[in-house]
Amino acid sequence: MTMVFPTLADLQAARERIAGRAHETPVFTSRSLDAACDASLFIKCENFQKVGAFKFRGACNAIFALTEEEAANGVATHSSGNHAQAVALAASLRGVPAHVVMPTNAPAAKRAAVLGYGARVIDCAPTLEARETTLAKVVAETHAHEVHPYNDPFVVAGQGTAALELFEEVGPLDTFLVPVGGGGLMSGSALAAAAVSPGTSVEGCEPTLANDAAEGLRIGERQPPNPPTTIADGLRTALGPLSFAIMKTHVHTIHTVSEAEIVAAMRFVWERLKIVIEASSAVPFAVALRGDVAKRRVGIVVSGGNLDLDRLPWQEV
């Protein structure tokens, strides 16, 4: 079976589709960060995106790409986190119902946010199996269109728009560091870089405790998820078939970092850049602060800024 990847035209169409709906987020630079990394970093701040994460780009593109007929019965997904809010908000903007399956252990604040965007929340047990069977039941009952968080070419194309904006603003880069969870952001970013800055080395960033992408690319076969132990909770997911295939073609290497490196990088960014980033977003900074990209012009996508401010990781170690 061959898989059709989104093209540059698909990414550009996504960009037009989400224009005026998603934010064109700013690119930050920091002399103290550059000095600490011995590199020039260009930081695309998706923590300032709607719902506080890049996820809104993909959900918005997927939902606004639906025909009237496809959208008529609304959309559905399962998620405990940022994708749930992204689908809820995008559906609300399109004016169609959203059915969101959430595990009962999802944070109360995220559940409240999804309800706040007018979505219907369907509770399920906190297992992947329960989430999938509950979603299947919801889709069967409502005929809603399922929006997968990353195994969907429209979602991948939407996530790639952040990279398109970054390259347009700062020009070619030597290296592009992107965190890898389900691979939606990574594969969209890789497609964008390959199309508009083919000389860029596209490099994924993972916690060592969730190194399924590094292992998968090394072995050449998609790996199951690791036990969900890393504090970078957005990166615990395994890759999907689509993101894995794109990454095999377009990603040059995967860096892995320790939990201590993630916590130190997260704190460094909060202290020096004065921006709130979640632990998953600290992973590429940990790679850069270790010196892995010294002397280079480097792009980084900050994936999001959603976390529990009562429990900061440097207060727990």
| Positions that interact with a second copy (CB under 8 A) | 26, 28, 47-48, 52, 267, 270-271, 273-277, 305, 309-310, 312, 314-315
Rounded to a whole number of angstroms, the minimum distance from the CB of residue 271 to a second copy is 6
What gap in Å lies between CA 228 and CA 134, rounded to an integer? Answer: 22
The DSSP output letter for 73 is T
Q: What single letter denotes the amino acid at residue 139?
A: V
Residue with smaller CB distance to a second copy, 140 or 309:
309
Residue with smaller CB distance to a second copy, 10 or 46:
46
What gap in Å lies between CA 212 and CA 294, rounded to an integer? Answer: 26
Of 53, 74, 52, the closest CA to residue 62 belongs to: 74
Q: Are 74 and 145 in contact (CB under 8 A)?
A: yes
From residue 95, how far is each of 55, 64, 72, 78, 316 by CA, in Å? 19, 10, 10, 20, 42
Rounded to a whole number of angstroms, the minimum distance from the CB of residue 47 to a second copy is 4
Rounded to a whole number of angstroms, the minimum distance from the CB of residue 305 to a second copy is 4
Rounded to a whole number of angstroms, the minimum distance from the CB of residue 48 to a second copy is 6
Residue with smaller CB distance to a second copy, 194 or 312:
312
Residue with smaller CB distance to a second copy, 68 or 308:
308
Residue with smaller CB distance to a second copy, 89 or 173:
89
What gap in Å lies between CA 147 and CA 133, rounded to an integer? Answer: 15
Rounded to a whole number of angstroms, the minimum distance from the CB of residue 276 to a second copy is 4
